[in-house]
Amino acid sequence: MHDLQKFFADTARLVEEELDRLIPSEDRGPTTLHKAIRWSVFGGGKRFRPILVFAVGQTFGADDRSLVRTAAAIEMIHTYSLIHDDLPSMDDDDLRRGRATCHKKFGEATAILSGDALQALAFKTIAEDDALDSNTRIRLITHIASAAGTPDGMVGGQQMDLDAEGKDVSRSGVESIHRNKTGALIRASAVSGAVIANANQKDVRRIEQYADDLGLLFQITDDMIDVCQTSEALGKTAGKDVAANKATYPSVYGLRAASRMAGELLAKIESDIADLGGTNSLLVDIARFVLERES
């Protein structure tokens, strides 16, 4: 078993150092905007998507320098989506990772602009990444922009989630919401690691399947944590999904069935990447970690 905690901490540090270099400093004008962006980006996220970029990239032999900017770019897109999701007209959340959300602290207009600026900076970052050749950058931007947009991406999934609020959602409905809303960017993270490492087409497809299942596992455990934990432990308002009558795995399947599904997914994930050979252990460890995490 890898020293997962060390791998997580090392990757988060590398990515955060890169984010600090890439994002305009707080004393650069317009200072409100850059403060708001930094407030949200450096708010103590788990950096799960960057970790996935690194884990898959390293599995196929890519070095840190070629992975770090894409990982940072994906974290920018993830952060922008959290800022916009928290807005009053969306999930209307006051707390994120134990601190005021961007719009609570800086106002709605600046929060909207912070998200907008982060999305632009993400694509600029990849386009300017001189550790990668032009073709690789183009492939990454294509994957990540598709995963961030609509119909089969994050924004499409967020709209489906909004449309489903207060309605009875079928099992295939909840799956398709999450496959787009959170799954697409998680898949793009894993695929980006493989693309940077120049993995062959067969392995890229295996990684896609792995990431699809891992994304689903992540969502199921996320939904279960929302039901089971206190706001204090979460650092955000707990039980909000239930209160908003959101389509979640526990609400559609029940808590015990959702928990069983999670266990079965781990087995499936192990088989997804069985053929990658002896180097797949980091990816399996990450899936196990996602299953067992408590926040």
Helix (H, G, I), strand (E, B) or coil at 95: strand
Q: What Cα–Cα distance (Å) separates residue 126 from each residue in 70, 145, 185, 199, 237?
A: 6, 11, 15, 19, 34
CA 225 to chain CA centroid, Å, is 16
As measured in angstroms, the least distance from the Cβ of 82 to a second copy is 12
For position 59 contacting a second copy by CB under 8 A, the verdict is: no
Structural tokens at position 157: 């999934």
As measured in angstroms, the least distance from the Cβ of 107 to a second copy is 7
> Count of residues binding a second copy (CB under 8 A)?
50
Side-chain-side CA neighbours of 115 within 13 Å: the count stands at 20
For position 27 contacting a second copy by CB under 8 A, the verdict is: no
For position 49 contacting a second copy by CB under 8 A, the verdict is: no
CB count in 10 Å sphere of residue 170: 12
Among 22, 90, 227, 282, binds a second copy (CB under 8 A): 90
For position 138 contacting a second copy by CB under 8 A, the verdict is: yes
For position 113 contacting a second copy by CB under 8 A, the verdict is: yes
Instruction: From 11-19, 31-39, 43-51, 260-268, give the range in contact with a second copy by CB under 8 A.
Output: 31-39
CA 218 to chain CA centroid, Å, is 10
- Burial of 25 from C-beta contacts in 10 A (0-12 / 13-18 / 19+): exposed
Q: Specify whether the CB–CB gap between 14 and 88 falls below 8 A.
A: no
For position 134 contacting a second copy by CB under 8 A, the verdict is: yes
As measured in angstroms, the least distance from the Cβ of 121 to a second copy is 5
As measured in angstroms, the least distance from the Cβ of 173 to a second copy is 11
- Which residue lies nearer to a second copy by CB, 30 or 254? 30
Q: What Cα–Cα distance (Å) separates residue 246 from each residue in 57, 79, 88, 251?
A: 35, 21, 16, 8
Instruction: From 33-41, 53-61, 234-242, 263-271, give the range in contact with a second copy by CB under 8 A.
Output: 33-41
Instruction: From 13-21, 50-58, 158-166, 197-205, give the range in contact with a second copy by CB under 8 A.
Output: 158-166
Q: How far is residue 145's CA from residue 252's CA, in Å, rounded to a whole number?
A: 30
Q: What angle do CA 92, 188, 131 make, to 5 degrees?
A: 115
Among 4, 22, 141, 252, binds a second copy (CB under 8 A): 141
Q: What Cα–Cα distance (Å) separates residue 294 from each residue in 4, 34, 163, 229, 234?
A: 16, 32, 29, 8, 9
- Which residue lies nearer to a second copy by CB, 188 or 217? 188
For position 107 contacting a second copy by CB under 8 A, the verdict is: yes
For position 34 contacting a second copy by CB under 8 A, the verdict is: yes
For position 142 contacting a second copy by CB under 8 A, the verdict is: yes
For position 115 contacting a second copy by CB under 8 A, the verdict is: yes
Q: Where does this chain bind a second copy (CB under 8 A)?
A: 24, 28-30, 32-34, 37, 80-81, 84, 87, 89-90, 107-110, 112-113, 115-117, 119-121, 123-124, 127-128, 134-135, 137-138, 141-142, 145-146, 148-151, 153, 155-156, 158-160, 162-163
